[in-house]
Amino acid sequence: MSDRIIIQIQGLTKIYKGSEEPAIKSISLDIYQDEIFGLLGPNGAGKTTTLSILCGLFAPNEGTVHIDGLDTASQLRKIKRIIGVVPQEVALYPTLTAIENLTFFGNMYNLKGNFLRERIMERLKVFGLERFAKKKVNTFSGGMARRLNLIAGLLHDPKLVFLDEPTVGIDVQSRIVILNYLHEINKMGTTIIYTSHYMEEAENLCSRVAIMDRGIIISIGNPKELVAEHPEFKNLENLFLALTGKDLRD
């Protein structure tokens, strides 16, 4: 992990219109280059809102965000060129083929021609989808669609990747392929910001995690160190439950 801060968040607050409670309250956080940083929390903790603000999709009510030294309030276009986003939903066009989807999303990053075609085929091969390159996405299984969803967000080799629960609802094989790939690109210098409900997965994957609840960060650090600091808990999941409680969330 480098000492260079790639994301600097200061006093971030977001209140949605019509809502009295802020979705996130005065969050401050530094994320370092080459990190795999996990944002963990129960439903409604504020993970997706934080991620959306970092991607420039929402403007915060208060606070600032700097990504790679660029201010999200004024230099969003430049920021969008260096980030990759993998949404929680399979954000693809179901009636387009895998190649058509990837070509379109690649084009949005100004990737074109043979370079793009070769990049698409290479990634499809890595994720075991080359046989399905010309198949429509609506014929894909859940795992295949998730893998393609990931490729679409990483096609332009971004410096920084935001992943919103990328392994939710998929088979073990697909999960392994995805997590291995994330490890691989992280080794090559990509910073990964990742949200998940799977504590074991986060514990193994992330260099640091922030546990969020009700719009605030309640704990932050290396997952193994966090568990070690609280010997009464066997693993991150137990610690997480102790910090966030066992009440059901909406």
Nearer to other proteins, 61 or 95 (CB): 95
Smallest distance, Å, CB 242 to other proteins?
A: 28
Q: Please tell me the distance from the alpha carbon of residue 98 to that of residue 58, in angstroms, as a whole number.
A: 29
CA dihedral 168, 195, 206, 241 (to 10 degrees): -90
Which residue matches tokens 């409900």? 197
| 85 beta partners | 162
Nearer to other proteins, 162 or 240 (CB): 162
Smallest distance, Å, CB 104 to other proteins?
A: 5
Kindly list the residues in this chain that would bind other proteins in the complex (CB under 8 A). 16-17, 23, 48-49, 52, 55-58, 77, 80-81, 83, 85, 87-96, 100, 103-105, 107-110, 112, 152-153, 162
CB atoms within 10 A of CB 169: 11
Kindly state the tokens that stand for 195: 């949200």
Nearer to other proteins, 55 or 211 (CB): 55
Smallest distance, Å, CB 180 to other proteins?
A: 23
Nearer to other proteins, 111 or 239 (CB): 111
Is residue 63 within 8 Å of 27, Cβ to Cβ? Answer: yes
Please state the separation of Cα 82 from the chain's center in Å.
14
Smallest distance, Å, CB 87 to other proteins?
A: 5
Smallest distance, Å, CB 112 to other proteins?
A: 7
| 66 beta partners | 8, 71
Q: At what angle do helices 172-187 and 142-154 cross, to 10 degrees?
A: 10
Q: Please tell me the distance from the alpha carbon of residue 49 to that of residue 45, in angstroms, as a whole number.
A: 9
Nearer to other proteins, 61 or 204 (CB): 61
